[in-house]
Structure 1
Amino acid sequence: MNKLAKKEKFDVATGEMRNWQGRKEWFFNRDDTDHYEAYYEGPYKRQEVWQKKTLEGLIKSDPRVNTLLEFGCGTTRFTRWWHEIGIEATGGDISPFMLAQGVQLFDGDLVLADSHHMPFKDHSFDALAFVTTFEYYKNPVQVIREAVRVGKYGIIFGMMNRNTPKLIRRRVQQAFGKNNYYVTANFYTPASLKALIAEALPDRDYTIQWNATGLPKWFPKQQWKVPYGDFFGFHVKLNDVE
Protein backbone atom coordinates (compact mmCIF):
# COMPACT_ATOMS: atom_id res chain seq x y z
CA MET A 1 0.00 0.00 0.00
CA ASN A 2 1.49 3.38 -1.00
CA LYS A 3 1.76 6.43 1.20
CA LEU A 4 -1.31 8.10 -0.32
CA ALA A 5 -3.47 5.04 0.22
CA LYS A 6 -2.36 4.80 3.84
CA LYS A 7 -3.20 8.43 4.54
CA GLU A 8 -6.56 8.52 2.81
CA LYS A 9 -9.50 6.13 3.19
CA PHE A 10 -12.46 6.03 0.83
CA ASP A 11 -15.78 4.51 1.88
CA VAL A 12 -17.33 3.20 -1.35
CA ALA A 13 -20.73 2.62 0.24
CA THR A 14 -21.19 6.21 1.45
CA GLY A 15 -19.04 7.97 -1.10
CA GLU A 16 -17.09 9.71 1.66
CA MET A 17 -13.36 10.32 1.68
CA ARG A 18 -12.10 10.17 5.25
CA ASN A 19 -8.98 12.03 6.37
CA TRP A 20 -8.34 13.89 3.06
CA GLN A 21 -7.91 17.47 4.26
CA GLY A 22 -9.69 16.44 7.46
CA ARG A 23 -13.18 17.34 6.26
CA LYS A 24 -16.07 16.22 4.07
CA GLU A 25 -16.04 17.52 0.50
CA TRP A 26 -18.96 17.78 -1.93
CA PHE A 27 -17.03 15.98 -4.68
CA PHE A 28 -17.23 12.74 -2.67
CA ASN A 29 -21.02 12.97 -2.52
CA ARG A 30 -22.88 11.47 -5.48
CA ASP A 31 -25.92 13.64 -4.80
CA ASP A 32 -23.74 16.57 -5.86
CA THR A 33 -21.40 15.06 -8.45
CA ASP A 34 -24.16 13.41 -10.49
CA HIS A 35 -25.64 16.82 -11.33
CA TYR A 36 -22.41 18.58 -12.26
CA GLU A 37 -22.70 18.31 -16.05
CA ALA A 38 -26.39 19.22 -16.01
CA TYR A 39 -25.58 22.38 -14.07
CA TYR A 40 -23.21 23.54 -16.80
CA GLU A 41 -25.73 22.69 -19.50
CA GLY A 42 -28.43 24.64 -17.71
CA PRO A 43 -28.19 27.86 -15.69
CA TYR A 44 -24.39 28.12 -15.98
CA LYS A 45 -24.11 27.89 -19.78
CA ARG A 46 -23.68 31.58 -20.56
CA GLN A 47 -21.10 32.02 -17.80
CA GLU A 48 -19.16 29.04 -19.13
CA VAL A 49 -18.86 30.63 -22.57
CA TRP A 50 -17.24 33.75 -21.13
CA GLN A 51 -15.06 31.78 -18.74
CA LYS A 52 -13.62 29.85 -21.67
CA LYS A 53 -13.04 33.02 -23.68
CA THR A 54 -11.19 34.50 -20.72
CA LEU A 55 -8.99 31.43 -20.17
CA GLU A 56 -8.23 31.03 -23.88
CA GLY A 57 -7.05 34.63 -24.19
CA LEU A 58 -4.63 34.10 -21.32
CA ILE A 59 -3.20 30.67 -22.17
CA LYS A 60 -2.76 31.51 -25.86
CA SER A 61 -0.51 34.40 -24.89
CA ASP A 62 2.23 31.83 -24.20
CA PRO A 63 3.00 29.96 -27.46
CA ARG A 64 5.19 27.49 -25.55
CA VAL A 65 2.11 25.77 -24.11
CA ASN A 66 1.07 22.78 -26.21
CA THR A 67 0.40 20.24 -23.44
CA LEU A 68 -1.47 20.78 -20.20
CA LEU A 69 -2.48 18.91 -17.06
CA GLU A 70 -5.77 20.05 -15.57
CA PHE A 71 -6.04 19.11 -11.91
CA GLY A 72 -9.47 18.95 -10.38
CA CYS A 73 -10.73 18.14 -13.87
CA GLY A 74 -13.94 16.62 -12.50
CA THR A 75 -16.16 15.35 -15.29
CA THR A 76 -13.62 16.75 -17.83
CA ARG A 77 -15.86 19.67 -18.75
CA PHE A 78 -12.91 21.96 -19.42
CA THR A 79 -10.43 19.17 -20.16
CA ARG A 80 -12.38 18.39 -23.33
CA TRP A 81 -12.40 22.06 -24.24
CA TRP A 82 -8.61 22.48 -24.02
CA HIS A 83 -8.40 20.02 -26.92
CA GLU A 84 -10.88 22.13 -28.89
CA ILE A 85 -8.49 25.09 -28.76
CA GLY A 86 -5.48 23.02 -29.79
CA ILE A 87 -3.93 22.07 -26.45
CA GLU A 88 -3.30 18.41 -25.63
CA ALA A 89 -4.82 17.99 -22.18
CA THR A 90 -4.66 15.34 -19.47
CA GLY A 91 -6.98 15.36 -16.47
CA GLY A 92 -6.40 14.62 -12.80
CA ASP A 93 -8.88 14.49 -9.94
CA ILE A 94 -9.22 12.90 -6.51
CA SER A 95 -12.95 12.17 -6.83
CA PRO A 96 -13.74 8.73 -8.27
CA PHE A 97 -17.34 9.82 -8.83
CA MET A 98 -16.31 12.76 -11.01
CA LEU A 99 -13.77 10.72 -12.95
CA ALA A 100 -16.30 7.92 -13.47
CA GLN A 101 -18.27 10.42 -15.53
CA GLY A 102 -15.14 11.83 -17.13
CA VAL A 103 -14.02 8.53 -18.62
CA GLN A 104 -17.35 8.29 -20.42
CA LEU A 105 -17.01 11.77 -21.91
CA PHE A 106 -13.29 12.18 -22.61
CA ASP A 107 -11.02 10.12 -24.85
CA GLY A 108 -7.75 11.35 -23.33
CA ASP A 109 -5.74 10.33 -20.29
CA LEU A 110 -7.08 10.69 -16.76
CA VAL A 111 -5.49 10.00 -13.37
CA LEU A 112 -6.99 9.57 -9.91
CA ALA A 113 -4.60 11.45 -7.63
CA ASP A 114 -4.09 14.17 -5.04
CA SER A 115 -3.01 17.60 -6.32
CA HIS A 116 -0.71 18.01 -3.32
CA HIS A 117 1.32 15.01 -4.53
CA MET A 118 1.06 14.87 -8.32
CA PRO A 119 2.23 11.49 -9.68
CA PHE A 120 4.27 12.97 -12.52
CA LYS A 121 7.94 13.67 -13.19
CA ASP A 122 9.29 17.22 -13.29
CA HIS A 123 8.18 19.19 -16.36
CA SER A 124 5.87 16.44 -17.61
CA PHE A 125 3.59 19.10 -19.12
CA ASP A 126 3.96 22.60 -20.50
CA ALA A 127 1.42 24.01 -18.04
CA LEU A 128 -0.93 23.19 -15.18
CA ALA A 129 -4.56 24.27 -15.04
CA PHE A 130 -6.97 24.64 -12.14
CA VAL A 131 -10.54 25.59 -13.08
CA THR A 132 -12.82 26.32 -10.09
CA THR A 133 -10.99 23.72 -8.03
CA PHE A 134 -8.06 25.57 -6.45
CA GLU A 135 -10.54 27.15 -4.03
CA TYR A 136 -10.83 23.82 -2.17
CA TYR A 137 -7.19 23.19 -1.26
CA LYS A 138 -6.23 23.55 2.41
CA ASN A 139 -2.52 23.79 1.54
CA PRO A 140 -2.55 25.95 -1.61
CA VAL A 141 1.16 26.85 -1.34
CA GLN A 142 2.12 23.19 -1.60
CA VAL A 143 -0.20 22.74 -4.60
CA ILE A 144 1.33 25.74 -6.39
CA ARG A 145 4.83 24.36 -5.86
CA GLU A 146 3.73 20.97 -7.18
CA ALA A 147 2.14 22.68 -10.17
CA VAL A 148 5.33 24.48 -11.24
CA ARG A 149 7.32 21.30 -10.68
CA VAL A 150 5.13 19.37 -13.10
CA GLY A 151 4.15 22.24 -15.42
CA LYS A 152 7.25 23.68 -17.04
CA TYR A 153 5.99 27.05 -18.22
CA GLY A 154 3.42 28.00 -15.63
CA ILE A 155 -0.13 27.78 -14.31
CA ILE A 156 -3.52 28.90 -15.60
CA PHE A 157 -6.24 29.43 -12.97
CA GLY A 158 -9.98 29.82 -13.46
CA MET A 159 -11.30 31.16 -10.17
CA MET A 160 -14.58 31.95 -8.44
CA ASN A 161 -14.06 35.58 -7.49
CA ARG A 162 -14.55 36.83 -3.95
CA ASN A 163 -15.26 40.30 -5.35
CA THR A 164 -18.83 39.67 -6.47
CA PRO A 165 -22.29 40.49 -5.10
CA LYS A 166 -23.04 36.78 -5.46
CA LEU A 167 -20.68 36.06 -2.55
CA ILE A 168 -23.51 36.98 -0.17
CA ARG A 169 -25.88 34.62 -1.96
CA ARG A 170 -23.27 31.85 -1.87
CA ARG A 171 -22.79 32.20 1.88
CA VAL A 172 -26.53 32.42 2.61
CA GLN A 173 -27.10 29.26 0.57
CA GLN A 174 -24.27 27.61 2.46
CA ALA A 175 -25.68 28.66 5.86
CA PHE A 176 -29.06 27.10 5.05
CA GLY A 177 -27.57 23.94 3.57
CA LYS A 178 -28.86 24.75 0.07
CA ASN A 179 -25.55 24.63 -1.79
CA ASN A 180 -22.95 22.04 -0.81
CA TYR A 181 -20.51 23.25 -3.47
CA TYR A 182 -19.35 26.25 -1.44
CA VAL A 183 -19.17 24.86 2.10
CA THR A 184 -15.38 24.35 2.10
CA ALA A 185 -14.48 26.83 -0.65
CA ASN A 186 -11.99 29.63 0.00
CA PHE A 187 -12.72 32.41 -2.48
CA TYR A 188 -9.84 34.48 -3.82
CA THR A 189 -9.43 37.82 -5.55
CA PRO A 190 -6.74 38.58 -8.14
CA ALA A 191 -4.82 40.44 -5.42
CA SER A 192 -5.01 37.64 -2.83
CA LEU A 193 -4.04 34.99 -5.38
CA LYS A 194 -1.11 37.15 -6.49
CA ALA A 195 0.08 37.35 -2.87
CA LEU A 196 -0.21 33.58 -2.52
CA ILE A 197 1.86 33.05 -5.68
CA ALA A 198 4.55 35.35 -4.27
CA GLU A 199 4.61 33.30 -1.05
CA ALA A 200 4.83 29.99 -2.93
CA LEU A 201 7.41 31.05 -5.54
CA PRO A 202 9.77 33.55 -3.88
CA ASP A 203 12.76 32.57 -6.04
CA ARG A 204 11.07 32.23 -9.43
CA ASP A 205 10.92 34.76 -12.26
CA TYR A 206 7.36 34.99 -13.55
CA THR A 207 4.81 37.29 -15.16
CA ILE A 208 1.15 37.47 -14.17
CA GLN A 209 -1.77 38.31 -16.45
CA TRP A 210 -5.42 38.18 -15.45
CA ASN A 211 -8.86 39.13 -16.68
CA ALA A 212 -12.27 39.15 -15.02
CA THR A 213 -15.68 38.08 -16.30
CA GLY A 214 -18.94 36.77 -14.84
CA LEU A 215 -20.62 40.16 -15.13
CA PRO A 216 -24.41 40.66 -15.40
CA LYS A 217 -25.92 39.96 -18.80
CA TRP A 218 -27.10 43.56 -19.13
CA PHE A 219 -23.63 44.98 -18.37
CA PRO A 220 -22.00 46.66 -21.42
CA LYS A 221 -18.77 44.64 -21.00
CA GLN A 222 -18.37 40.95 -20.28
CA GLN A 223 -14.59 40.99 -19.76
CA TRP A 224 -12.50 43.65 -18.11
CA LYS A 225 -9.27 44.15 -16.19
CA VAL A 226 -11.09 45.26 -13.06
CA PRO A 227 -11.11 42.81 -10.12
CA TYR A 228 -14.90 42.49 -9.97
CA GLY A 229 -17.15 39.80 -11.41
CA ASP A 230 -18.09 36.23 -10.55
CA PHE A 231 -15.01 34.72 -12.22
CA PHE A 232 -11.46 35.63 -13.11
CA GLY A 233 -8.75 33.96 -15.17
CA PHE A 234 -5.19 34.20 -13.85
CA HIS A 235 -2.06 33.14 -15.73
CA VAL A 236 1.36 32.69 -14.12
CA LYS A 237 3.95 32.57 -16.90
CA LEU A 238 7.37 31.29 -15.81
CA ASN A 239 10.22 33.21 -17.44
CA ASP A 240 13.23 31.39 -15.94
CA VAL A 241 13.00 28.21 -18.04
CA GLU A 242 14.19 27.48 -21.56
Structure 2
Amino acid sequence: MSNIEKKEFSLVTKQLDQWQDREEWFFNREHTDVYEDYYEGPYKRAEVWQKKILAKLIKKDPRVETLLEYGCGTTRFTRWWEEIGIEAMGADISPFMLGQGVHLFDGDLVLADSHHMPFKENTFDALAFIATFAYYKDPIKVIREAARVSRYGLLFGIMNRNSPKLIRRRVQQVFGKNEYYRTANFYTPNKLIETLHEALGDRLYKIEWTSTGLPKWFPVQQWGLPIGDFFALHVKFTDVE
Protein backbone atom coordinates (compact mmCIF):
# COMPACT_ATOMS: atom_id res chain seq x y z
CA MET A 1 0.00 0.00 0.00
CA SER A 2 1.44 3.39 -1.04
CA ASN A 3 1.70 6.37 1.32
CA ILE A 4 -1.19 8.05 -0.53
CA GLU A 5 -3.34 4.94 -0.20
CA LYS A 6 -2.47 4.67 3.51
CA LYS A 7 -3.45 8.30 4.02
CA GLU A 8 -6.75 7.81 2.21
CA PHE A 9 -7.44 4.63 4.21
CA SER A 10 -6.68 6.50 7.44
CA LEU A 11 -9.17 9.24 6.54
CA VAL A 12 -11.91 6.72 5.75
CA THR A 13 -11.27 4.90 9.03
CA LYS A 14 -11.42 8.15 10.98
CA GLN A 15 -14.73 9.02 9.29
CA LEU A 16 -16.07 5.63 10.28
CA ASP A 17 -14.89 5.93 13.87
CA GLN A 18 -16.10 9.49 14.31
CA TRP A 19 -19.20 11.46 13.52
CA GLN A 20 -19.75 15.10 14.49
CA ASP A 21 -16.00 15.23 15.31
CA ARG A 22 -16.26 12.73 18.16
CA GLU A 23 -16.21 8.99 18.71
CA GLU A 24 -19.64 7.38 18.94
CA TRP A 25 -20.56 3.96 20.29
CA PHE A 26 -22.58 3.10 17.18
CA PHE A 27 -19.37 3.00 15.13
CA ASN A 28 -17.91 0.35 17.41
CA ARG A 29 -18.91 -3.26 16.76
CA GLU A 30 -18.15 -4.16 20.35
CA HIS A 31 -21.35 -2.26 21.18
CA THR A 32 -23.45 -2.54 18.03
CA ASP A 33 -23.22 -6.33 17.84
CA VAL A 34 -24.96 -6.72 21.21
CA TYR A 35 -27.54 -3.95 20.77
CA GLU A 36 -30.45 -6.33 20.10
CA ASP A 37 -29.49 -8.41 23.14
CA TYR A 38 -30.29 -5.54 25.49
CA TYR A 39 -33.86 -5.31 24.20
CA GLU A 40 -34.30 -9.05 24.47
CA GLY A 41 -32.96 -8.93 28.03
CA PRO A 42 -32.94 -6.10 30.58
CA TYR A 43 -34.86 -3.57 28.42
CA LYS A 44 -37.67 -5.89 27.30
CA ARG A 45 -40.26 -4.57 29.74
CA ALA A 46 -39.25 -0.97 29.04
CA GLU A 47 -39.63 -1.55 25.31
CA VAL A 48 -43.22 -2.76 25.74
CA TRP A 49 -44.26 0.46 27.49
CA GLN A 50 -42.28 2.66 25.12
CA LYS A 51 -44.14 1.19 22.17
CA LYS A 52 -47.47 1.63 23.94
CA ILE A 53 -47.04 5.37 24.43
CA LEU A 54 -45.55 5.91 20.99
CA ALA A 55 -48.48 4.13 19.36
CA LYS A 56 -51.00 6.05 21.45
CA LEU A 57 -49.65 9.39 20.24
CA ILE A 58 -49.02 8.67 16.56
CA LYS A 59 -52.35 6.91 16.02
CA LYS A 60 -54.20 10.05 17.09
CA ASP A 61 -53.37 11.45 13.66
CA PRO A 62 -55.22 9.28 11.11
CA ARG A 63 -53.38 11.01 8.26
CA VAL A 64 -50.18 9.11 9.07
CA GLU A 65 -49.81 6.04 6.87
CA THR A 66 -46.09 6.23 6.02
CA LEU A 67 -43.17 6.98 8.32
CA LEU A 68 -39.41 7.43 8.15
CA GLU A 69 -37.50 6.47 11.29
CA TYR A 70 -34.16 8.26 11.54
CA GLY A 71 -31.51 6.59 13.65
CA CYS A 72 -33.28 3.29 13.07
CA GLY A 73 -30.23 1.27 14.14
CA THR A 74 -30.87 -2.45 13.91
CA THR A 75 -34.53 -1.66 13.04
CA ARG A 76 -35.76 -2.68 16.49
CA PHE A 77 -38.63 -0.19 16.29
CA THR A 78 -38.68 0.17 12.50
CA ARG A 79 -40.02 -3.33 12.01
CA TRP A 80 -42.67 -2.70 14.68
CA TRP A 81 -44.53 0.17 12.96
CA GLU A 82 -46.28 -2.29 10.64
CA GLU A 83 -48.00 -3.82 13.69
CA ILE A 84 -49.87 -0.55 14.22
CA GLY A 85 -50.71 -0.07 10.55
CA ILE A 86 -47.89 2.25 9.43
CA GLU A 87 -45.57 1.56 6.49
CA ALA A 88 -42.05 2.41 7.63
CA MET A 89 -38.62 3.03 6.18
CA GLY A 90 -35.40 3.36 8.17
CA ALA A 91 -32.29 5.55 7.97
CA ASP A 92 -29.11 5.54 10.02
CA ILE A 93 -25.53 6.84 9.92
CA SER A 94 -24.01 3.60 11.26
CA PRO A 95 -23.15 0.89 8.71
CA PHE A 96 -22.71 -1.59 11.56
CA MET A 97 -26.24 -1.08 12.85
CA LEU A 98 -27.74 -1.17 9.37
CA GLY A 99 -25.68 -4.27 8.62
CA GLN A 100 -27.79 -6.07 11.19
CA GLY A 101 -30.99 -4.30 10.22
CA VAL A 102 -30.98 -5.58 6.65
CA HIS A 103 -31.28 -9.13 7.98
CA LEU A 104 -34.14 -8.28 10.34
CA PHE A 105 -36.28 -5.84 8.36
CA ASP A 106 -38.00 -6.44 5.01
CA GLY A 107 -38.47 -2.76 4.19
CA ASP A 108 -36.15 -0.13 2.74
CA LEU A 109 -33.11 1.19 4.62
CA VAL A 110 -30.73 4.01 3.76
CA LEU A 111 -27.31 5.03 5.09
CA ALA A 112 -27.56 8.80 5.58
CA ASP A 113 -26.86 11.67 7.98
CA SER A 114 -29.93 13.16 9.66
CA HIS A 115 -28.52 16.67 9.22
CA HIS A 116 -28.75 16.22 5.42
CA MET A 117 -31.70 13.97 4.67
CA PRO A 118 -31.60 12.71 1.06
CA PHE A 119 -35.34 13.03 0.47
CA LYS A 120 -37.65 15.50 -1.23
CA GLU A 121 -40.07 17.69 0.72
CA ASN A 122 -43.12 15.91 2.17
CA THR A 123 -41.86 12.46 1.17
CA PHE A 124 -43.33 10.81 4.30
CA ASP A 125 -46.43 11.40 6.40
CA ALA A 126 -44.35 11.44 9.60
CA LEU A 127 -40.78 11.23 10.76
CA ALA A 128 -39.72 9.52 13.99
CA PHE A 129 -36.64 9.63 16.21
CA ILE A 130 -36.62 6.76 18.71
CA ALA A 131 -33.82 6.75 21.31
CA THR A 132 -31.56 8.69 18.92
CA PHE A 133 -32.31 12.41 19.16
CA ALA A 134 -30.06 12.84 22.19
CA TYR A 135 -26.97 12.29 20.01
CA TYR A 136 -27.31 15.25 17.65
CA LYS A 137 -24.91 18.16 18.12
CA ASP A 138 -27.10 20.40 15.93
CA PRO A 139 -30.68 19.45 16.91
CA ILE A 140 -32.16 22.59 15.31
CA LYS A 141 -30.85 21.61 11.90
CA VAL A 142 -32.07 18.04 12.32
CA ILE A 143 -35.58 19.17 13.28
CA ARG A 144 -35.77 21.50 10.30
CA GLU A 145 -34.68 18.72 7.98
CA ALA A 146 -37.26 16.40 9.53
CA ALA A 147 -40.01 19.01 9.15
CA ARG A 148 -39.04 19.45 5.50
CA VAL A 149 -39.26 15.74 4.74
CA SER A 150 -42.39 15.06 6.84
CA ARG A 151 -45.87 16.07 5.70
CA TYR A 152 -47.90 15.83 8.90
CA GLY A 153 -45.63 15.71 11.90
CA LEU A 154 -42.75 14.42 14.01
CA LEU A 155 -42.57 11.78 16.73
CA PHE A 156 -39.87 11.57 19.39
CA GLY A 157 -39.12 8.76 21.82
CA ILE A 158 -36.34 9.94 24.08
CA MET A 159 -34.60 9.22 27.35
CA ASN A 160 -35.81 11.65 30.00
CA ARG A 161 -33.38 13.80 31.93
CA ASN A 162 -35.90 13.86 34.82
CA SER A 163 -35.10 10.32 35.91
CA PRO A 164 -33.25 8.84 38.90
CA LYS A 165 -31.51 6.57 36.41
CA LEU A 166 -29.66 9.57 35.00
CA ILE A 167 -27.42 9.68 38.08
CA ARG A 168 -26.60 6.00 37.69
CA ARG A 169 -25.74 6.48 34.00
CA ARG A 170 -23.42 9.39 34.71
CA VAL A 171 -21.62 7.45 37.46
CA GLN A 172 -21.21 4.51 35.06
CA GLN A 173 -19.71 6.83 32.46
CA VAL A 174 -17.16 8.19 34.94
CA PHE A 175 -15.92 4.64 35.49
CA GLY A 176 -16.10 3.75 31.79
CA LYS A 177 -18.98 1.33 32.24
CA ASN A 178 -21.60 2.78 29.88
CA GLU A 179 -20.49 3.84 26.41
CA TYR A 180 -24.05 4.11 25.12
CA TYR A 181 -24.73 7.40 26.89
CA ARG A 182 -21.27 8.99 26.91
CA THR A 183 -22.11 11.50 24.16
CA ALA A 184 -25.85 11.70 24.81
CA ASN A 185 -27.55 15.00 25.58
CA PHE A 186 -30.64 14.06 27.58
CA TYR A 187 -33.78 16.17 27.31
CA THR A 188 -36.77 16.93 29.49
CA PRO A 189 -40.15 17.42 27.78
CA ASN A 190 -39.87 21.19 28.34
CA LYS A 191 -36.34 21.34 26.92
CA LEU A 192 -37.37 19.44 23.80
CA ILE A 193 -40.41 21.69 23.35
CA GLU A 194 -38.20 24.79 23.61
CA THR A 195 -35.90 23.32 20.96
CA LEU A 196 -38.86 22.56 18.70
CA HIS A 197 -40.23 26.09 19.02
CA GLU A 198 -36.86 27.51 18.00
CA ALA A 199 -36.51 25.16 15.05
CA LEU A 200 -40.05 25.32 13.66
CA GLY A 201 -40.46 29.09 13.81
CA ASP A 202 -43.79 30.27 12.38
CA ARG A 203 -45.18 26.85 11.52
CA LEU A 204 -48.50 25.91 13.08
CA TYR A 205 -48.49 22.74 15.15
CA LYS A 206 -49.82 21.00 18.23
CA ILE A 207 -47.60 19.19 20.74
CA GLU A 208 -48.63 16.31 22.98
CA TRP A 209 -46.40 14.13 25.17
CA THR A 210 -46.55 11.43 27.81
CA SER A 211 -44.02 9.63 30.04
CA THR A 212 -43.20 6.06 31.01
CA GLY A 213 -40.19 4.22 32.42
CA LEU A 214 -41.47 4.36 35.98
CA PRO A 215 -40.44 1.80 38.63
CA LYS A 216 -42.07 -1.61 38.24
CA TRP A 217 -43.76 -1.30 41.64
CA PHE A 218 -45.35 2.06 40.78
CA PRO A 219 -49.18 1.89 40.49
CA VAL A 220 -49.19 3.46 36.98
CA GLN A 221 -46.71 3.03 34.12
CA GLN A 222 -47.80 5.95 31.96
CA TRP A 223 -48.64 9.49 33.02
CA GLY A 224 -48.57 13.16 32.05
CA LEU A 225 -45.92 14.30 34.52
CA PRO A 226 -42.39 15.09 33.25
CA ILE A 227 -40.83 12.34 35.38
CA GLY A 228 -39.86 8.88 34.19
CA ASP A 229 -37.07 7.21 32.28
CA PHE A 230 -38.60 7.77 28.82
CA PHE A 231 -41.09 10.11 27.21
CA ALA A 232 -42.81 10.23 23.83
CA LEU A 233 -43.64 13.54 22.19
CA HIS A 234 -45.71 14.11 19.05
CA VAL A 235 -45.66 17.24 16.93
CA LYS A 236 -48.78 17.43 14.75
CA PHE A 237 -48.59 19.96 11.94
CA THR A 238 -51.88 21.86 11.74
CA ASP A 239 -51.01 24.13 8.79
CA VAL A 240 -51.55 21.33 6.24
CA GLU A 241 -54.63 19.37 5.22
TM-score, structure 2 length as denominator? Answer: 0.94
Structure 2 counterparts to residues 14-93 of structure 1, below 5 A: 16-18=16-18, 20-93=19-92
Taking the aligned partners of 2:169 and 2:100, their CA distance within structure 1 comes to 26
Runs of 4+ in 1 over 4 A off after TM superposition: none
1:202 to partner: Cα distance: 1.3
State the alpha-carbon separation in 2 of the partners of residues 92 and 232 from structure 1.
Answer: 22
Distance in 1 of aligned mates of 2:107 and 2:83: 13
Segments of structure 2 that go 5 or more residues without pairing to the other structure are 1-10
Q: Point out the structure with max Rg over C-alpha.
A: 2
Q: State the partner residue of 2:146.
A: 147
Q: Does 1:103 align with 2:102?
A: yes
Report the Cα distance in structure 2 between the residues aligned to 1:155 and 1:192, rounded to whole angstroms.
16
Residue type of the alignment partner of 1:205: L
1:43 Cα deviation (Å)?
0.3
In 1: Cα distance, 2:62 partner to 2:83 partner: 16
Query: Which 5+ residue runs of structure 1 have no aligned equivalent?
Result: 1-8
2:131 matches 1:132:
yes
- CA RMSD in angstroms comes to 1.3
Q: Aligned residue for 1:4?
A: none
Tell me which residue corresponds to 1:175: 174
Provide, for residues 155-210 of structure 1, a one-character-per-residue CA deviation record: whole Å limited to 9, x for no partner: 00000000000000010011111010000000000000000000001110000000
Secondary structure at the counterpart of residue 114 of structure 1: coil
Instruction: Give me the whole-angstrom Cα distance separating, in 2, the residues matched to 1:171 and 1:62.
Output: 37
2:143 aligned counterpart, secondary structure = helix
Task: State percent identity of aligned pairs.
Answer: 71
Contact preservation (8 Å) 2:17, 2:28: no
TM-score by length of structure 1 reads: 0.94
Once the 2 structures are TM-superposed, how far is the Cα of residue 241 of structure 1 from its aligned partner? 1.1
Please give the alpha-carbon distance, in whole angstroms, between the structure 2 residues aligned to 1:46 and 1:71: 23
Shift of residue 16 of structure 1?
A: 3.8
Match of 1:163 in 2: 162
Give the 3-state SS of the residue equivalent to 1:155 in structure 2. Answer: strand
- Give the conservation status (yes or no) of the 8 Å contact 1:16–1:24: no
CA–CA separation in structure 2 for the residues paired with 1:87 and 1:17: 33
How many corresponding residue pairs? 232
Report if aligned partners of 2:64, 2:152 keep a CA contact under 8 Å in 1.
yes
